[in-house]
Amino acid sequence: MARPPLPIGTHGRIRVYRLGPKRYRARTQFRDHDGVIRHVEQVGSSDAAARQLLLAALSKRGRAARDGEITADSTVRELGALWLGEIERAVTLGKRSPNTLALYRLQYDRHVRDGVGRLRVRELSTGRLDRFVVEVHDRHGTAAAKTVRTILSGMVGLAVRHDAMDRNPVRDVGRIESDRASTRALTLPEAVELRGKLHADKRCRELDLVDLTDFMLATGLRIGEATAVTWDALDLDTGTVQVRGTVIRVKGHGLSIKWKPKSKSGHRTLELPAWAVAMLRARLADAAGEGSDPVFPAVMGGLRDPSNTQADLRDIFARADYGWVTSHVYRKTVATLMDNAGLSARQAADQLGHSKISMTQDFYFGRKVASTGARDVLEVFGNGSSQESISGGFLGVDHGRDPEDGA
């Protein structure tokens, strides 16, 4: 039987040869990361010195071979650094949002690095990770726990791809159920009333938020998408708007428009109601901007910060006695009005930019009175009928004996 090859990154037996007075050569075979076995040697002033020099060289060679590689003995901190590096490269290529990287790095630094960072990859079991996620949930809330679970899943998935683990134990970690109540939508009378109050609010007009809120109500766009709309994205003759990107804040760079959406469905062209087209025509007549200038800029010019705008709107909504409303309520209101009008979930998903209609149905469509037909069937229990007539007539089942069975 042939001798099995050396495992990658290991060496064979070390042999030492005397070359002369105080001159020794230590030599062995080392299997490099590419699978090729090569001879490695070092010369020292003694047998022990030559061996030590060779072992140091082998250790350095092994680290060089494993550079960027994760093994079962790698620390979770090493795994996390490599995983964040992959996310950073994805951001550079435009495949991930800078905000996603910022969120992952923040939660990794806050919770993962010190929470499980000193463990070895081989020590990441489902039970240990489940307890860790539950602890994050209990101490820091649902949002933090969900993000930490996502980070751990990505990190361990990378370890699996490096053959450091044979499966991803995070898949069996308990799901984090949101404890936040579902956002309600404005009813039509509420939407009309709130719109009137915003038009009459002096501060709302000073901050140039009247047209912006009207535009969100006319489209269902996220606030970042609405503030990213430029004049060349509008075709007022056909009454359409192209949704191309969203305004984000990148640490160290400020505000910018992220042109690549989360999914292909994010890029879409929407039809505008006639009253919104009239509002935009009037705005165009008063505006100095054109082309790539934002339709809804900041008061002092340039891109409008969605986060700051949200804060301004909270104050304005509270003053209008609609303190529970956020800009996202406008988005759900559009979906709900489409649903009430009998439009399909597919149409609403296209309007909102969802790639899956399940997202639209689960989070944006409210449940109506279910017309299942059960009401008419179950009326039998209110007819004052006997048990026999119910079981025979309603269920259509004769529980008596078959006549042919005899007495």
Give pLDDT, residue 371: 52
Give pLDDT, residue 208: 94
| Rounded average pLDDT over 135-148 | 92
Give pLDDT, residue 347: 86
* Residue 122 contacts residue 72 (beta carbons within 8 Å): yes
What is the DSSP pairing of strand 234-235 with strand 23-31? unpaired
Dist. CA 269–CA 271, nearest whole Å: 7
pTM, 2 dp: 0.63
The encoded tokens of residue 213 equal 């809120």
Dist. CA 155–CA 79, nearest whole Å: 7
3-state SS assignment for residue 270: strand
Residue 276 confidence class, pLDDT cut points 50, 70, 90 = very high
Specify which residues 42 forms β-bridges with: 26
306-356 pLDDT, tens digit per residue, is 999 999 999 999 999 999 999 889 989 998 888 888 888 888 888 888 877
Give pLDDT, residue 389: 47
Dist. CA 8–CA 100, nearest whole Å: 36
Domains (ranges, CATH) in the chain?
A: 15-65 (no CATH), 76-172 (1.10.150.130), 188-331 (1.10.443.10)
Dist. CA 112–CA 149, nearest whole Å: 10
Question: At a CB cut-off of 8 Å and minimum separation 6, what does 100 contact?
Answer: 87, 91
The encoded tokens of residue 13 equal 């037996």
Residue 315: CB atoms within 10 A of its CB come to 13
198-209 pLDDT, tens digit per residue, is 999 999 999 999
Give pLDDT, residue 97: 81
| Rounded average pLDDT over 91-100 | 83
Lowest mean pLDDT: which of 77-86, 251-260, 335-344? 251-260
Q: Which residues of 2-30 are buried (b: 16+ CB within 10 A; e: fewer)?
A: eeeeeebbebeebebeeeeeeebbbbbeb
Query: ∠ CA 343-345-347 to the nearest 5 degrees?
Result: 65
Between 220 and 97, where is the model more confident? 220
CA 22 to chain centre: 64
The whole-chain average pLDDT of the chain stands at 84
- What is the identity of the amino acid at 224? G
Give pLDDT, residue 274: 92
Residue 401 confidence class, pLDDT cut points 50, 70, 90 = very low
For residue 256, which of 309, 303, 191 has the smallest C-alpha distance? 303
Dist. CA 105–CA 134, nearest whole Å: 20
Residue 267: CB atoms within 10 A of its CB come to 14
